[in-house]
Structure formats: C-alpha cells, structure tokens
Amino acid sequence: MLEFAGNKTRDQVRAQCKAAGVKFDDSKYKQGSDWTLLSGGGAQVLWSSWNGKFFGTTDTGIEFSSDSGKYDNEPWMQALLRFFYVERPSRAAIARAEQP
C-alpha cells in the first residue's frame, strides 16, 4: 500500500501539469479560493494546495475523492495520489539503504 509523507507544493503540481499537458486553472485560487482546477483527457480534478485534498470525475464519469478509499487500488487513483502527494519510501527500501 502506498504511504505518503505530505502534500506536493503548488509549484511541483504546476510543473507536473505542464509536463503532462494538463490544464492548471488557478483563476479561482487567485481570487481567494482554496481550489485549483486541473483538467485533461476528459477528466477534471479540483485540488486544494492548502490541505492536499482533491475530488473530481474521470474521463469515464467515475466520481472520486481523496477522502474515500473506494478506488485506492485502481491504477488511475494510484497515479493521482502520486501526482499530489510526496511518496514515503517503503520500509523495505529504507532497510536496504541502511545495510552496509
């Protein structure tokens, strides 16, 4: 199971969006909202850089939220989690790195 050490910054997410060709619409954020709209390929995600939460719809109409574990094992949700959160190294990886 994926574990995360925290949220990515707005600059990190913006750079990822640019590299992936995802639209990063922060016009509401600039007006005082906590939310930024990301969209591409028919999917839309509202993301809060303040608390790292997100929700939206996939290109096939599936509604999702970072607060729900319903889709955690789906590859597309795992990709979203990695997109917005800093992944924590697994315990096995840490143990390997500590070995002489």
pLDDT (tens digit per residue) in 9-22: 999 999 999 999 99
Model confidence pTM above 0.75: yes
C-alpha 23/C-alpha 83 separation (Å) is 14
Give Cβ neighbours of residue 57 (< 8 Å, ≥ 6 apart): 43, 44, 63, 64
C-alpha 52/C-alpha 58 separation (Å) is 18
Q: Quickly state the pLDDT bin for 89 (edges 50, 70, 90).
A: confident
Check: CB of residue 39 under 8 Å from CB of residue 23.
yes
Report whether pLDDT(36) > 60.
yes
| Average pLDDT, integer, range 62-91 | 91
